[in-house]
C-alpha cells in the first residue's frame, strides 16, 4: 500500500515536527493538527504540510482530521502532568479516540508512539505509567524486531 497522506497527531511537538518534515520531504501530504499553530511555524512553510488549529480530544473533530488519510501517526504525549488527569487524557483516552476515529474513517495504518514510562513493564512507577496500566487495555510487549524506546535529547 502506497502512503500518500498522513495525519500526524502531536506533529507540532519535539518528535512530531521532525517526522512531519521527513514525510513532507518524501512528497507525502501531511496534516498536522495543533492547539497552537504558532508552535508549528517551521512546518507551515512546507508545501505538502497543512497545519490545522484543532482540538484532537473532540471525537468529531478527530474523525474529520483523520478522514481521507492513508495513515495516522499518534505522537501526543506528556512527561509532566499540569492538571490532574492530564496523563489519563493524553496516554489513555486520546489513543482510544484515535483508534475509534481511524476505524470510523477506515484508516488502515496507525503508528502510536507513547511517552517514556507509559508501559506496563516500565522500570519506574511513574505517573505516566499508572493510567496506561489501569486502563484495561491489552498491553503487549512489542516483537524483538521492533525499535526500542530511548530518551531523546
Phi-psi region of 54 (alpha: psi -120 to 50; beta: other; left: phi over 0): beta
CA-closest candidate to residue 129, choices 143, 117, 144, 145 = 117
Q: Is the pLDDT of residue 118 over 80?
A: no
Q: What is the pTM of this model?
A: 0.77
Which CATH architecture is the domain 5-133 placed in?
Answer: 3-Layer(aba) Sandwich (3.40)
Could you identify the residue written with the cell 479516540?
A: 97
What value does the mean pLDDT take over residues 93-120? 85
List the 29-34 sheet strands across, edge first. 49-53, 29-34, 5-9, 71-74, 109-112
pLDDT tens digits, one per residue of 60-71: 999 999 999 999
Amino acid at each position: 500500500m502506497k502512503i500518500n497522506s498522513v495525519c500526524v497527531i502531536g506533529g507540532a511537538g519535539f518528535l512530531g515536527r521532525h517526522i512531519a518534515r521527513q514525510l513532507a520531504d518524501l512528497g507525502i501530504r501531511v496534516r498536522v493538527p495543533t492547539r497552537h499553530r504558532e508552535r508549528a511555524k517551521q512546518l507551515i512553510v512546507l508545501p505538502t504540510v497543512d497545519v490545522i488549529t484543532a482540538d484532537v480530544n473532540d471525537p468529531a473533530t478527530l474523525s474529520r482530521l483523520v478522514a481521507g488519510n492513508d495513515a495516522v501517526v499518534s505522537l501526543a504525549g506528556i512527561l509532566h502532568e499540569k492538571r490532574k488527569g492530564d496523563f489519563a487524557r493524553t496516554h489513555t483516552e486520546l489513543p482510544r479516540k484515535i483508534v475509534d476515529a481511524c476505524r470510523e474513517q477506515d484508516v488502515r495504518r496507525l503508528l502510536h508512539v507513547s511517552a517514556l514510562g507509559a508501559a506496563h513493564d516500565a522500570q519506574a512507577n511513574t505517573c505516566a505509567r499508572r493510567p496506561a496500566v489501569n486502563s484495561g487495555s491489552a498491553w503487549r510487549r512489542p516483537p524483538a524486531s521492533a525499535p526500542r524506546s530511548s530518551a531523546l535529547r
